[in-house]
Each structure stands twice: as C-alpha cells, then as structure tokens.
Structure 1
Amino acid sequence: MKIRNRLTILFTAIITAILLFFAITVYLAYADFRDEQYEKRLEQQAYTKARLLLEGQISPSVLKVIYQNQPNTLFQEEMAVYDEHNQLIYHDDIREDFVKETSAMLRQICQNGKLRFKQENRQVVGFLYQHGEKTYIVTAAAYDEYGLSKLANLRNTIAITFIISILVVVIAGRFFARQALAPMADVVRQVGQITATSLHNRVPEGNGRDEIAELAITFNLMLDRLEKSFAAQQQFVSNVAHETGTPLAGIIAELDLAQRRPRQTAEYEQIIQRVLNDARRLGRLTDGLLNLAKASYDPSVITMKPLRIDEVLLDSSHEVIRKRAGYRVDIAFDPKTDTGEPILVRGNEYLLRVAFANVMENSCKFSADHHCLVKIMPAEHGCAVYFEDQGIGIQPGDIPHLFTPFYRGSQARQAEGHGIGLSLTHRIVTLHNGRISVSSIPGKITVFCIHLPL
C-alpha cells in the first residue's frame, strides 16, 4: 500500500473516531437532558393535580375535565393517588391503566420517597405527597412525544452529518496526503532520471528544513559518493589498461619479431629473457591489483588477531630479499625503549606483511645502496614503525599525491614500478585504523612512518 493511501486511511480513521465520539456524546447528553427535564415536568404536573385534588377538594371528574381541556397537557398522561393503606383514591382513567402499581412498587416509593423509571416508551415517576397528617403516594406516567421526536430528529441529523463529514474527510485527506507527498514524488521522479552517465545531477533540497529536504540532502550525499566512486573506478580501469598494455605490447612485439625469420640460439635467448621480464612485470602488476582489491574489503569481513610486529616485519623483509637479491633490510628496536617484551598489534597478518614489504621495497629501490633501515618504537596507544633510506628523496610537490593509485613522482620514473605499492599500503594502514606519513629531503633521506594502534 502506498504511503499516500495509508496516510489517507489513517487521517480518515482518526477524524472519524473523533466525530463519532463527539456525535455519541452530544446525542447521549441531549437524551439524558430530555429525560431529566421531562421527568421534572411530569412530576410537577402530578404534584399540581394532587394538590388540587386533596387540598382544593376538587372532585375527580372535574379535575379530569380541567386537565383534558388544558393546552399544555402531557401526551397520554395518567396519574394515580393512593392513600397510606395503598388504596386507590384517584385515577385519570382506570380502564386505560398503563402503569400497574404493585404493592412492591408502592412500598419502594414509601421507602425511598421517590421513584423514577421507564416502562416501554413512557416515563414513570412516583413520589410521596404530605397532606395534613396523612401521606399519599402519587404515581404519574406520560409519553414525551415532542421530546422523543426531537431526539429522533437529532439522531437522524447527526447520522446524515456524520456520513457527509466522512466523505469530506476522505476527500480532504486524499488532497492533503497528495500535497504533503508531492515533494517526495518529485524526489522519486528526479532520482529515477539519474543514471551512471548523469551522476552530476542533484535533487533539489527545497527549504532544507523539513523531512523531505533531509531525504533530498541524503540522496545528494549518496550521489556525491557514487560520483566519486564511478570517477575513481573509471580512472582505475584507465590506469590498469595503460599499465597492462605496455608489457603486453612488449611481449607481442618480441614474439612477432621472433617468428619473422630463423634466428640464432643466443638471439632467441635474448627474446625469451625480454618476454620473461615483461611477463614478470605483468605478474607483479596483477598481484598488486589483487592486493589493492583485498584492501578495499569491508573491515568486518577481514580476520583480525593480535600479532607480533617484529615477526611480521621480519617476514616482510625476507619476502623483499627473496624477490630482489641485491636489496638489504635491517630491523632495529629503539634502545631507549627496548624492554625485551614483544610489541603486539591487532591486524591481518597477510595485509600488514604486504604493506610493510611495499614500503621496504620502495625504500630499497630508490636508494643507491638498495638499503632500508626499519626502526620499531613504542608510541602512545600503539607502536610506530619507521622506514628510512639514504636515496634520491621525494620532491615536496609529489608528497600530497604519493598515496594516489598509479601516481608516480617526477623522480620515480627512472625506476620500474606501477604506482600501486604506496596507495595499497595507505589503504591497508587505514583499514587497521592506523596512519602513514612521509618526510623527505631530496637527495639525502626519506622516512616513512606507519603508526598502528595496539
């Protein structure tokens, strides 16, 4: 069910309940008021009759004639008077006696002094009348034709008004629901028009204060993230195509050249070596891309456990030396803080090993002696690992872009690489809630610092 229909039904139900409560309250209040007023009038007229009969000594026949010709006589009224021995001494018309006064009823009037009840559609009152030393019991009954007709008319009026009101409420509820949700419909329509090629479009945020505006703002923030993600993806695909195209083109060219004419064994060995180098370069690029994808996983699906930072660094150094026989990596603890106790961090062993190996390899690659010095130092709420090399350094203008995927600095083009290693390291460190920084003096020294929480 649409929200518009749900709001209409809810609005109609609430207003219907209020109107129904109000209508029932008015009807019952008027019914009680009519009963009370008619009973008082009936009792007053019966009291007047009893007074004329007992104190005015008017004969019953004359009393009947007087009240039958009176214009304000109650409809179908009858009155009876009993003495203290429950003997009937007066009745308007014994042949049409509607209220059958029983001894129990007369006894109840004597005990309570007054009695009121309804019998079918007639209202009945009974009370005691004191005359001299004698006490009489007076009963009277009448049918409130005028009052009941007014009550019925009120009931019909309320019913018709209630039905018409419900119809008006339904129409008004539909209208107001449509008006209230019109901005929402605009947002839905505009969002539906946004595709992968039009992520630059945004949803109007209206006044910026109501819930619809909050929804529009949330949509726009999501579109900002999507636009950045799509742009990064396109840039990533473009860079991958460029980086993989170079070694593939080299492999194809070498093999195409080799098959054009017969060659000597030494020439074939040279071609095979060049093809092998391009294939290895392509393999390293593939490994880097796979690790970059792993570092983009949701942190909740990556296994974390306590790790000894020195053991992870040692494994990373062995991996770098195994791949590059001419590289040297030395690991040292700060003598001022070295207590012999292992320093533990919580992380993923494989990803941290990849991150450390990338920085080590980068330091060795750009230093003349292919040497990297690694220092481990305890830090507040964690540990700091420094990677130092005496190499060509990094230009200040390159440092802000150093961790951008596929970015290569102005001095890095003289060495082999793809611009993946440091961006991958940055993602892995961020994944572990750590941070990485770099400081460099061109031509002298470069120091990378990775801070990891315990």
Structure 2
Amino acid sequence: MKVRTRLTLLFTLVTAMLISFYGVAIYYSSKEARETSFYTELKSEAVAKANLFFQGDLSEKEMHQLYKNNTQTLSEVQVAIYDSGFNLVYHDDSKVDYVKENTEMLSKIFKSKQLFFFLDDFQVAGIVYSHQGKQYAITAAAYDQYGYNSINHLLTISIVSFIIILVLIYLAGLFLSKKALSPAVKMVEQIKRINAGKLQLRLDESEEKGEFHELEKSFNQMLERLDHSFSTQKHFVSNISHELNTPLAAMTAELELALQKNYTQEEYQKIILNALTDVKNMSKLSGSLMDLAKASYDPAEISFSEIRIDEILMDSYAKIRKENPQYIIHLNIDPEMDEQKLIHRGNPYLLLVAFNNLIDNACKYASDGSCLIDVALVADHLSIQFINTGISISEKDQQNIFKPFYRAENSFNKKGYGIGLYLTQKIIDLHQARIQASSEENTTSFQILFT
C-alpha cells in the first residue's frame, strides 16, 4: 500500500472516530434531554389535571369527554388519581389503562413523593398531590411521538452526514496527501535516473525549508560521498594494477630470458635473485594493501582496548631495527610525563603498522638514515613526533602527501608505493587523533596528537 493511500485512510479513520464520538455524544445527550423534558411535561400535566378535577368546574364526565376529544388529534397524557387507600378516584380512560397501577407501584409513589419510569415505549410520571389535608397519588403516562420523531430525524441526519463527511474527508485526504508528498514523488523520479554511471547527478533541492529539503540535502551529500568513493576506488584499482604490473612484467621478462638459452650458474642465480626481489616487493605491496583493508573496516568492527602507546612504540622500534639494522632510531620519552597520559584506547596491531610506516619513512628519506621519536605533552595532550633531517618536502607535496598512491617529488629514487602515509592517516583517524606534516630547513616532522 502506498504511503499516500495509507495516510489518507489513517486520516479518514481518525476523523471517523472523532466524528462518531461527537455524534454519539450529541445523540445520547439529546435523548436524555428529551426524556427529562417529557417527564417534566407529564408532571405538569398531572398537576393540571388534579387541579382541574379537585378545584375546577368540570364534571368527571366532561373531563372524560375532553380527554377523548384530545386523543383524536394528539397523544394525550393519560392521568389517574388514587387516594391514600389505593382506591381509584379518577381515571381518564380506565378501559385503556396504560399504566395498570398496582399497590406496589402506588406505595413507591407515596414513599418517594415522585417517581419516573418507562413502561414499554410509554413514559410514566408519578407524584403525590395534596388537597384539603389528604394525599393522592397521581400517575401521568403518554407516548412522546413528537420527541421520538425528532430523535429519529436527528439520528438519520447524523448517519447521512457522517457518510457524506467521510467521503469528502477521504477525497480531501487524497488531494492533500498528494500535494504534501509531491516532493517525494519528484525525488523518486529523479533517483530512478541515478545509477553507478551517473553518480554526478543530484536531486533538485527545494527552496522551502522542511523535512523533504533535509532529505534532499542528505541524499545529495550521500551521492557526493559515493561519487568520491567510486572515483577513489577506480583510482585505487588503477594504481594497484599499475604497481602489480611492474614487478610482474619484470619477472616475466627475466624468466622468458632465462628460457631462451643456457646460462652459467652465476647468471641463473642473478636471474633468480632479481625475480626474488620482485616477489618480495609484491609481498610487501600485498601486505600494505591488507593493512589498508583492515584500516578501512567499520570502526565498530575493529577491536579496541586500553593500551600503552610507549609499549607500541618500543615494539615498532624493535621491529624496524631487526629488519633494517642500518637505521639509527632515537626514542625520547619525557621522564616527567604521567604514565596515565600514555594509556589510550586503540588497536595495537594498527597502531604498530602506523608507527612502522612513520619510522621507516623517516629513516628512508633521512640523509643519515636516522629518526628521532619525541614523546611529550602538548596542551595536556599526548604528542608523538617523528623527525628526520634530509631533503625538505615542498608545500605542494605536503598538501597531497596523505593521498593514496601519491609520491612526492623527492621520493622517486626511493622504493615505495604511496600507500604508507595514506594508510597511516586512516589508522590515526580511527583512533580519534590527528596527524600533520611539516618540513623546513631540511628537517621534516610528522606529528601525531592524541586528543
């Protein structure tokens, strides 16, 4: 069921319930008012007949004749008068007795002074009337033809009006929901035109501020991110293909050359050594890509725990020194630093990868193969700097150095794939920290600030 139809039906249902409640309340209040009003008329008629009987000049026969004449044109009230001994004193028409008074009924009237009740469709009013020191029980009964006709007419009008109003409300609901949801319909039509090859398309944002404007704005922002993600992915795959193709082409050429003629043992060893170097480069590239994939996981899927940053730095120091004995690494930790400042929530493996990349990068591009790691507090936040001396990084390269597969101008004579710093930044971002590069006067520094 469409939202438009569902909203219309719900709107109609709620309105029907409210109108029904209102109509029932009006009907029953009118019904109660009719009953109360007619009981009052019966009571007045009983008193008037009693006054006419006891104090008037009409005889009982004349009163009977008056009653019969009135019953021919209207629903006349039938009155009966009983004395305290329950003896009938007067009755408008004893042959057609509506009430059929008995001792129990008369006793209740004398006891309660007045009594109102229904006999089938007839309403009955019983009162006590005093005359010359004696008390009489008077009953007045009649069928309220006019009142019932009015109530039934009110009920008929209410039902017909209810049906008409519901139909009008349903039609109005369809019109209003169509008008209210027209931006959504327009959005759906525009979204259908957007696919993987047309991510540059955007929704038209309405000028009127509201929920649909926010939805259009959020959807366009999502398209921006998807477009950027697809572009990055294409660029990423293109670069990976290029980086993998280079060592594969070299290995293929070396091996094809080895098959063309017989070589000496030394020459075969040289060919195998070259191929092995290419395999190691591919293995290193593959490892970097695996680390990048792990750093690209949803943060909710990465395991974080309380770790000591200095211990991760020591592990990284030991690993880099073992793989590259020629590197000179100095680790300087402020001795006055509170140990609690070195404890942060993080993933040990990913931080180790980030620190390895920064240390290796600093030593690789240093003029003397050395790196200074300085750990201190900056504005009460833990700061780690990786400093080396050598060729400076230009301002242009500093702006792009954290992009994937980007190689700075001074790095073309060094082995690398342009993944390390990009991977490092993603890892640092995952740990709610910041990394920035600065380079001047042949000194380059990468600073990580844990907030």
Same fold (TM over 0.5): yes
- 1:233 is aligned to 2:207: no
TM-score, normalized by length of structure 1? 0.91
Q: Give the deviation of 1:126 after TM superposition.
A: 1.9
Which residue of the partner structure matches residue 170 of structure 1? 170
Query: Counterpart of 2:428 in structure 1: which amino acid?
Result: V
Whole-angstrom CA distance in 2 between matches of 1:301 and 1:252: 40
- 1:408 is aligned to 2:407: yes
1:97-139 CA-partner distances (Å, limit 9, x unpaired): 1211122222222233222221111111122333333333221
Whole-angstrom CA distance in 2 between matches of 1:355 and 1:8: 58
SS at match of 1:300: helix
Q: Give the deviation of 1:255 after TM superposition.
A: 2.0
Whole-angstrom CA distance in 2 between matches of 1:292 and 1:347: 16
Whole-angstrom CA distance in 2 between matches of 1:108 and 1:10: 53
Q: Give the deviation of 1:303 after TM superposition.
A: 2.5
Q: Give the deviation of 1:341 after TM superposition.
A: 9.5
- 1:445 is aligned to 2:443: yes
Mapping of residues 122-161 of structure 1, within 5 Å? 122-161=122-161
- 1:363 is aligned to 2:366: no
Whole-angstrom CA distance in 2 between matches of 1:176 and 1:435: 51
1:318-369 CA-partner distances (Å, limit 9, x unpaired): 322333343222223346x368999444322222222111111111111222
Which residue of the partner structure matches residue 211 of structure 2? 211
Mapping of residues 281-300 of structure 1, within 5 Å? 281-300=281-300
Alpha-carbon contact 2:67-2:76 (below 8 Å) kept: no
SS at match of 2:439: strand
Q: Give the deviation of 1:237 after TM superposition.
A: 0.9
Which residue of the partner structure matches residue 385 of structure 1? 384
Whole-angstrom CA distance in 1 between matches of 2:192 and 2:184: 12
Q: Give the deviation of 1:236 after TM superposition.
A: 0.9
SS at match of 1:266: helix
Q: Give the deviation of 1:265 after TM superposition.
A: 3.4
* Residue segments in structure 2 that go unaligned for 5+ positions in a row: none
Structure 1 residues 116 and 343, CA gap change in structure 2 (3 angstroms): closer
Which residue of the partner structure matches residue 23 of structure 2? 23
Which residue of the partner structure matches residue 37 of structure 2? 37
1:153-192 CA-partner distances (Å, limit 9, x unpaired): 2222222322333333333333333333332233233223
Whole-angstrom CA distance in 2 between matches of 1:341 and 1:120: 91
Whole-angstrom CA distance in 1 between matches of 2:135 and 2:28: 36
Which residue of the partner structure matches residue 371 of structure 2? 372
Query: Counterpart of 2:182 in structure 1: which amino acid?
Result: A
Alpha-carbon contact 1:307-1:344 (below 8 Å) kept: yes
Whole-angstrom CA distance in 1 between matches of 2:314 and 2:82: 121
Whole-angstrom CA distance in 2 between matches of 1:123 and 1:314: 103
* Residue segments in structure 1 that go unaligned for 5+ positions in a row: none
Alpha-carbon contact 2:312-2:348 (below 8 Å) kept: yes
Whole-angstrom CA distance in 2 between matches of 1:154 and 1:120: 22
Alpha-carbon contact 1:81-1:138 (below 8 Å) kept: yes
Which residue of the partner structure matches residue 424 of structure 1? 423
Whole-angstrom CA distance in 1 between matches of 2:305 and 2:67: 106
Structure 1 residues 96 and 324, CA gap change in structure 2 (3 angstroms): same
Whole-angstrom CA distance in 1 between matches of 2:39 and 2:72: 15
SS at match of 2:281: helix
SS at match of 2:183: helix
Alpha-carbon contact 1:67-1:73 (below 8 Å) kept: no
1:372-427 CA-partner distances (Å, limit 9, x unpaired): 22222244554322222221121122111111111111111122211111111111
SS at match of 1:377: strand
Whole-angstrom CA distance in 1 between matches of 2:338 and 2:76: 114
Mapping of residues 11-410 of structure 1, within 5 Å? 11-70=11-70, 74-75=74-75, 77-334=77-334, 337=336, 343-410=342-409
What is the alpha-carbon root mean square deviation over aligned residues? 2.5
Whole-angstrom CA distance in 2 between matches of 1:380 and 1:83: 108
Alpha-carbon contact 2:334-2:375 (below 8 Å) kept: yes
Structure 1 residues 100 and 229, CA gap change in structure 2 (3 angstroms): same
TM-score, normalized by length of structure 2? 0.91
Whole-angstrom CA distance in 1 between matches of 2:279 and 2:25: 91
Alpha-carbon contact 1:208-1:214 (below 8 Å) kept: no
Alpha-carbon contact 1:106-1:137 (below 8 Å) kept: yes
Query: Counterpart of 1:452 in structure 2: which amino acid?
Result: F
Structure 1 residues 353 and 147, CA gap change in structure 2 (3 angstroms): closer
Alpha-carbon contact 1:244-1:282 (below 8 Å) kept: yes
Alpha-carbon contact 2:428-2:434 (below 8 Å) kept: yes
Whole-angstrom CA distance in 1 between matches of 2:258 and 2:344: 53
Structure 1 residues 18 and 271, CA gap change in structure 2 (3 angstroms): same
Which residue of the partner structure matches residue 433 of structure 1? 432
Query: Counterpart of 1:402 in structure 2: which amino acid?
Result: I
Alpha-carbon contact 2:70-2:76 (below 8 Å) kept: no
Whole-angstrom CA distance in 2 between matches of 1:117 and 1:56: 29
Alpha-carbon contact 2:130-2:136 (below 8 Å) kept: yes
Whole-angstrom CA distance in 2 between matches of 1:19 and 1:427: 61
Whole-angstrom CA distance in 2 between matches of 1:331 and 1:40: 106
Alpha-carbon contact 2:45-2:77 (below 8 Å) kept: no
Structure 1 residues 308 and 38, CA gap change in structure 2 (3 angstroms): closer
Alpha-carbon contact 1:316-1:356 (below 8 Å) kept: yes
Alpha-carbon contact 2:125-2:140 (below 8 Å) kept: yes
Whole-angstrom CA distance in 1 between matches of 2:162 and 2:171: 14
SS at match of 2:201: coil
1:174-221 CA-partner distances (Å, limit 9, x unpaired): 333333333223323322332111112222332442222222222222
Alpha-carbon contact 2:373-2:384 (below 8 Å) kept: yes
Q: Give the deviation of 1:150 after TM superposition.
A: 2.6
The percentage of aligned residue pairs carrying the same residue is 37
Alpha-carbon contact 1:360-1:387 (below 8 Å) kept: yes
Structure 1 residues 332 and 70, CA gap change in structure 2 (3 angstroms): closer
Whole-angstrom CA distance in 1 between matches of 2:30 and 2:304: 77
Structure 1 range deviating more: 414-423 or 324-333: 324-333
Whole-angstrom CA distance in 2 between matches of 1:89 and 1:6: 70
Query: Counterpart of 1:83 in structure 2: which amino acid?
Result: D
Alpha-carbon contact 1:55-1:131 (below 8 Å) kept: no
